[in-house]
Amino acid sequence: MPPHDRTNRLLPPLAGGLTAAFSCLLLLVLCFRRISKKRTAPAGASDTDSKKPPHRLSYSLLRRATANFSPSLRLGQGGFGSVYRGDLKKDSVLATSHIAVKVMDSGSLQGEREFQNELLFSSKIDCKYIVSVIGFSSNPSKRRMLLIYDLMENGSLQDCLFHKKSEELRNWDKRFSIALNIARGLEYLHHYCDPPIIHGDIKPSNILLDVGFNAKIGDFGLARFKMSGGISSTPSMRGTVCYIAPEYGSGGDVSEKCDVYSFGVLLLVLIAGRRPLEVTGSPMSEFKRANLLSWARHLARAGKLLDLVDQRMVVEYLNREQALLCVTVALLCLQKLPTRRPSMKEVVGMLCGDLGCPQLPVEFSPSPTGRFPVKSQKKVR
């Protein structure tokens, strides 16, 4: 049989298989929504039962919305696909006309798993600190799977910190607000979802900023449920080097404390305005040339935590007590033993000033007690 005939014979089964997979996944999403109940949720979260399931849109509609997936509309690119800006007509079934479209290659097993994860977890999550999938589509003949999100106009935190170097992020209050948004998003996943959700890949490129620079957690491709035994539903999780917790490589349990560790790294990155591993060409001390975590620990022992703060920020508007608080919270999250790390509920409490003055881990403190050397914080709401 000629090769092209074999291909033509294979396409219908492939298309049918992908369509069936979509149908089964959507059915699973709807059933899961019915049996999943959240505990009393904090401000910013809605009742899961009131959330509409993602809409299925035609591939041709999304192709028109993105000008046939024009490179000029590409917002970013990852390991399993690209994200494009799209503009829909106002009569669309979606509540918004400005969208982001993630195009994933279904030829990759990992890509398929991430697609299924995103769609499944989106049905469970309704929180203003988390990006939700609002639609999906597929093109079996091109083996493409598509996810649709609300457009986040200011892109990722990674872009704003390191590429665009946004003026907005020279403002300390804006950075603190971003940190608190992320913490509240993780608090929701860990404490108000049943079963709890472990994100598994907290990093700047997965934090998206809307038009007002309000932060939302995105990309649930590696997310997992925490089972009753206290570990994730799979024996291993992938993540991003420099952000993954040390227990990943030592065969320890994968728990929500892994997200807490990743948040600690992210918080240091947000405070310092630099990557976890970054060597510049300018003369600087050995510790400053090393990785960010080592530098932060060195400064903590030396009692110079404020030296960590990004020098691009407008100094006269820097809240010194709040900056010291954030570095302290980050170091608490970065403790090697998961049991010593705070929960995300405790992190939010510390950042909001509800839990009093936190103490540095004794091994990083310049004082014998590890007492945090600033006044009590005003409560943040």
Measured in residues, the chain has a length of 381
- Sequence-ordered strand ranges (E) for 23-106: 55-56, 74-78, 81-87, 98-105
Residue 105 in 3-state DSSP? strand
Query: Is-contact 330 309, C-beta < 8 A?
Result: no
Which residues carry a binding-site annotation? 102
Which residues carry a binding-site annotation for ATP? 102
Residue 148 identity: I
In angstroms, rounded to a whole number, what is the distance separating the alpha carbons of residues 83 and 309? 32
**Residue 201 a catalytic site member:** yes
- Estimate to the nearest angstrom the gap between the alpha carbon of 36 and the chain centroid: 22
Structure tokens at 10: 């294979």
- Taking CA 42 as the corner, what is the angle to CA 353 and CA 153, rounded to the nearest 5 degrees? 90
Residue 144 in 3-state DSSP? strand
In angstroms, rounded to a whole number, what is the distance separating the alpha carbons of residues 88 and 72? 17
Residue 362 identity: V
- Estimate to the nearest angstrom the gap between the alpha carbon of 3 and the chain centroid: 44
Q: Which of 159, 201, 259, 310 is catalytic?
A: 201
Structure tokens at 239: 């993540």
Task: List, by residue number, the catalytic residues.
Answer: 201
